[in-house]
Chain A
Amino acid sequence: MGTPTLKILTQMENTSQQSTANTNGYLDMELLRFTTAGSVDDGKSTLIGRLLFDSKSIFEDQLDQVKQSSERKGLEDTDLALLTDGLKDEREQGITIDVAYRYFATPKRKFIIADTPGHIQYTRNMVTGASTANAALILIDARNGVVEQTCRHSIIASLLQIPHIVVCINKMDLVDYSQDVYNKIVADFEDFASKLEVKDVRFIPISALKGDNVVNRSESMSWYEGSTLLYTLEHLHIGSDHNHIDCRFPVQTVIRPKSDEFHDYRGYAGRIAGGVFKPGDEITALPSGFTSKIKSIDTFNGPIEEAFAPMSVTITLEDEIDISRGDMLVRTNNQPEAKQDLEVMLCWLNQKGPIPRGKYTLRHTSADMKAMIKEVRYKLDINTLHRNEEDTDIKMNDICRVSLRTTKPVLADSYRKNRQTGSVILIDDATNETVAAGMVI
């Protein structure tokens, strides 16, 4: 049996930028990553279970397994949380310890859910889940309104610059689908969110249990004229979530085939972190400062006319200049500031707090250098946004504003401008563990 030839399909798929009409819907789908955070009682598992179930992403054998486990635990109903809790300890203790990733797709989009526990003790997991998300789904129990946990999740979403926030006011069935209750919660949330940096907030009254406004429109809330949750997730505008203005290309590695055919080939492999690169563009290699022009942007399928985030490509230059991993190609007239003193919002991720005057490896895109925490400016109360300048003792799950001093300049943008080139991690050289994550101010 030979492999079928599918030339027509392959031709239709556009590797560069011509937007060809595409009859095969699946090839035209976009990817949306969203995060959820919540505790046991707010209906998060029910909501995720419903999204997966209604999009037919739960398979029969998975459901059977969960049913059996629920029965073994003496539960009356099938506990859909058992679907997301992957580890034995999590299922036994009924808690989510770690970020769980779930996948589902509709004909419009493929979704990746980073499902994180909502308790303050798990701030590091919420931050991890939020770091790659396009959207945050925040659940509010309609009976309780805006509570501390709501604020915590929103503050983290804002700190991590998640572009879209969808606030689901859940359990509307338990408040008689009251528009007044909904309006009050929306007003409370907006009041609190005015202190945050969030660009796009939407509100949806739902009942995850009954299915109101999740996939299908609710018949009990005719006063609500907005979209259902799934429709909202399918239509959030994510095209501008990447920075397409400031050109940034961190070099991962240099490709030198040294074969007869490609004897002098020297290509810089990396993933575009921002902006649009085109052959002929004048670029500067940092930190050296040498300039050259882009000769070609290569891929396995041939050279392309332009490259933008988050594409992985190989760039060749007109001139032979010394460039290696950790360097960054940028447009000559738009460069990040090279700084050895960085102001950073730092989330501490490790059991062991920072060593006083200790040196860590700082990793920024593909560049490594040594760094130390010079000063802790304040600790942020992630329930209230209060800045505590007295308490500078950093522990796990704390978020602090610090100033870092590095051994060589960091080619950083502000995190607000670019999530890729504005983020750093700290690695403990003794244990090799990732102990902190920082966002450049």
Chain B
Amino acid sequence: MKSYNLSHLRELEAESIYVLREVYAQFENPAILFSGGKDSIVITHLARKAFHPAKIPFPLVHIDTGHNFPETIEFRDNLVEKLGAKLVVGSVQKSIDEGKAAEEKGKNASRNAIQTVTLLDTVEENQFDAAIGGARRDEEKARAKERFFSHRDEFGQWDPKNQRPELWNIFNGKHHHGEHFRVFPLSNWTEMDVWQYILLENIDIPSLYFAHERKVIRRNGTWLPVSEFIQIDPKETVEEKVIRFRTLGDITITGGVESDADTLEKIVEEVAAARQTERGNREDDKRSETAMEDRKKQGYF
């Protein structure tokens, strides 16, 4: 008999497409949380595939800390135009101005944690009942406990010890008014899978992921990009380095790695040989052992 096998990337793709279609069918008003990072770009690509030849039936939601890489914003705007999708921007600056969130102080100040306030407000204002995110279980130990369909109460909070069991491929997105779900179609992908898939599908990604020259400072074991948003200590020296970013977030917390990987193939090789997790360069996760779990319970991505 002929053998009917899918390669692992095609099986992961089929699973993610199935999940995206379930979101569309089970929710009234779902949205994609779009950061401009590779995972949310892959989600958007999969959504195109899931609903082809129709357009993506979800708006893209960007929670904007105001501390962006200009390349990310340019990439975001181009993609939105190409897809003909609707863009919803939730502004962290606005949350601060309205007194809903307080800016952190000091050298390592970041707007990472207060994004949660803006995210939850944006979900509420737009009455989104499902927010699709690119988080993966291999990224971080608290994320390893996430369901594909992850329930959030009316305060947007996650209760990791009381999650709905998920069996086979039957997903339960039933919820009361005011509650919402976070949905993670890439749950079973690893960093390596994402890169291989980007290579396989030839998906466009921001230039920041490729090796480039940049002014950086050395801080907490990573190369932090120099921008108007960080305070540089007199003891710190600004250097010019050839680096690339393995993840993209707020410019104040996203550290780069020294690399000469300027093509997707070289990136894949580099990822295969990497001995550090990609979030190892993220200042936000280093604050404590439970930094991610604590933020997630509050409603973080």
A231 CB–B CB distance under 8 Å: no
A4 CB–B CB distance under 8 Å: yes
Query: B188 to A101, Cβ gap below 8 A?
Result: yes
B196 CB–A CB distance under 8 Å: yes
B160 CB–A CB distance under 8 Å: yes
A28 CB–B CB distance under 8 Å: yes
A21 CB–B CB distance under 8 Å: no
Chain A residues with Cβ under 8 A from B2's Cβ?
17
Query: B165 to A4, Cβ gap below 8 A?
Result: no
Q: Looking at the complex, which one of B9, B52, B172 makes contact with A300 (CB distance below 8 Å)?
A: B52
A3 to B31, CA, bound (A): 27
Query: A131 to B264, Cβ gap below 8 A?
Result: no
Interface centre among A83, A300, A309, A310 (most CB of B within 10 A): A300
What 1/0 mask marks residues of chain B from 184 to 217 whose CB sits below 8 Å from any chain A CB?
0001101011001001111111010010100000
Query: B265 to A4, Cβ gap below 8 A?
Result: yes
Query: A253 to B24, Cβ gap below 8 A?
Result: yes
Query: A87 to B142, Cβ gap below 8 A?
Result: yes
Question: What interface size band does chain A fall in?
Answer: 35 or more
Query: B18 to A312, Cβ gap below 8 A?
Result: yes
Query: B200 to A29, Cβ gap below 8 A?
Result: no
A325 to B201, CA, bound (A): 29
A222 CB–B CB distance under 8 Å: no
Q: Looking at the complex, which one of A5, A299, A427 makes contact with B202 (CB distance below 8 Å)?
A: A5
- With A86-B142, A269-B21 in contact, do A31 and B264 touch (Cβ < 8 Å)? no
Query: A311 to B276, Cβ gap below 8 A?
Result: no
A124 to B163, CA, bound (A): 12
A262 to B51, CA, bound (A): 13
Chain B residues with Cβ under 8 A from A314's Cβ?
52
Q: Looking at the complex, which one of B4, B6, B165 makes contact with A124 (CB distance below 8 Å)?
A: B165
Cβ-closest chain B residue relative to A98: B145
What 1/0 mask marks residues of chain A from 49 to 80 whose CB sits below 8 Å from any chain B CB?
00000000001111001000100000000000
Chain B interface residue count, Cβ-Cβ cutoff 8 angstroms: 78
Query: A100 to B144, Cβ gap below 8 A?
Result: yes
What 1/0 mask marks residues of chain B from 268 to 279 whose CB sits below 8 Å from any chain A CB?
100000111100
Query: B264 to A3, Cβ gap below 8 A?
Result: yes
A333 CB–B CB distance under 8 Å: no
Contact residues of A between 92 and 149, Cβ < 8 Å to B: 97-98, 100-103, 105, 109-110, 112, 124-125, 127-128, 131-132
Query: B161 to A3, Cβ gap below 8 A?
Result: no
A89 to B275, CA, bound (A): 28
Chain B residues with Cβ under 8 A from A101's Cβ?
137, 144, 187-188
- With A59-B275, A60-B276, A299-B49 in contact, do A87 and B167 touch (Cβ < 8 Å)? no
Cβ-closest chain A residue relative to B145: A86
A218 CB–B CB distance under 8 Å: no
Give the contact stretch, choosing among A40-48, A186-194, A206-214, A432-440: A432-440
Query: B14 to A271, Cβ gap below 8 A?
Result: yes
A338 CB–B CB distance under 8 Å: no
Query: A105 to B137, Cβ gap below 8 A?
Result: no
What 1/0 mask marks residues of chain B from 12 to 32 whose CB sits below 8 Å from any chain A CB?
111101100110110000000
Chain A residues with Cβ under 8 A from B13's Cβ?
312
Query: A128 to B167, Cβ gap below 8 A?
Result: yes
- With A3-B204, A27-B200 in contact, do A308 and B4 touch (Cβ < 8 Å)? yes
Chain B residues with Cβ under 8 A from A28's Cβ?
7
Chain A residues with Cβ under 8 A from B82's Cβ?
none
Query: B199 to A9, Cβ gap below 8 A?
Result: yes
Query: A432 to B174, Cβ gap below 8 A?
Result: yes
- With A5-B202, A276-B4, A434-B172 in contact, do A88 and B53 touch (Cβ < 8 Å)? no
Chain B residues with Cβ under 8 A from A83's Cβ?
141
Query: B263 to A98, Cβ gap below 8 A?
Result: no
- With A103-B137, A299-B52 in contact, do A366 and B25 touch (Cβ < 8 Å)? yes
Query: B12 to A31, Cβ gap below 8 A?
Result: yes
A62 to B280, CA, bound (A): 9
Cβ-closest chain A residue relative to B51: A255
Q: How far is the CB of A293 from chain B (nearest CB, A)?
A: 21
B262 CB–A CB distance under 8 Å: yes
Listed A/B pairs (24) with beta-carbon separation below 8 Å: A1-B212, A3-B205, A6-B265, A27-B200, A59-B277, A65-B289, A85-B141, A87-B141, A97-B161, A100-B145, A131-B167, A242-B4, A255-B54, A257-B54, A257-B55, A262-B54, A271-B14, A311-B6, A312-B13, A312-B14, A312-B21, A314-B52, A325-B25, A434-B167
What residues make up the interface of A, taking CB atoms closer than 8 Å to B?
A: 1, 3-7, 9-10, 13, 15, 17, 26-31, 59-62, 65, 69, 83, 85-89, 97-98, 100-103, 105, 109-110, 112, 124-125, 127-128, 131-132, 238-239, 242, 244, 252-253, 255-259, 261-262, 265, 267, 269-271, 276, 298-300, 308-312, 314, 325, 349, 361, 363, 365-366, 419-420, 423-425, 427, 432-434, 437
Q: Which 7 A-B pairs have the closest CB atoms?
A: A31-B8, A257-B54, A300-B49, A86-B141, A432-B174, A312-B17, A131-B167
